[in-house]
Amino acid sequence: MRAMKTLIVLRHAKAEHIPGVLDFERGLTNRGQRNAREAGVLIGPLKPDLILSSASKRTKETAELLGLAAPLELDRDIYEAYADELLVLLRQVGPDVGTLVLVGHNPSVHELVIGLAGDQVDTFPPGAFAVIELPGPWSEIDSGTGTLVDSHRP
């Protein structure tokens, strides 16, 4: 029997909108910081092995505020990736990773959740996450192969 993999797809928490600040450099609001910590409390029991995050300021802050023991890897390509590009990235995750947290941006993270597990998650606001079980190795994940087991909206 092949080991199940668990993917936690997290949209960055609520970000500031400050005139003149580049989108990539936007940080989290106070509420966003609180929501990221709350998400970490909920995700913690799943014992992630790795956090893969966009390199933008708000996604990096969200990933760090989760307070998880897992190593954090930043990938600039996640910032403007489409859902199908995120799938390609996920297929490259090492076989030793059982549970992965992917921290990214809408609309791609919501489209990824819908593509993997169907449209049970109708909205994906900042700080929302979905927990998806996958039947085989990362290298074989594809549209429709996941099962949504949990989701959370702040």
CATH code for the domain of 35: 3.40.50.1240
Residues 6+ apart with CB under 8 A from 25: 56, 57
End-to-end CA distance of the chain: 36
- CA 143 to CA 116: how far, in whole Å? 5
Q: Name the nearest CA neighbour of 13 among 77, 65, 89.
A: 65
Q: What is the mean pLDDT of the chain?
A: 95
**pLDDT for position 131:** 98
**pLDDT for position 120:** 84
- Residue found by looking up tokens 């919501």 in the block: 110
Lowest mean pLDDT among 42-46, 54-58, 65-69, 136-140: 136-140
Distance of CA 83 to the CA centre of its chain: 12
Domain residues for the domain of 137 are 4-152
1 pLDDT higher than 90: no
**pLDDT for position 152:** 95
Domain count, the chain: 1
Quickly state the pLDDT bin for 121 (edges 50, 70, 90): confident
31 pLDDT higher than 90: yes
**pLDDT for position 2:** 56
| Between residues 1 and 73, the one the model is more confident about | 73
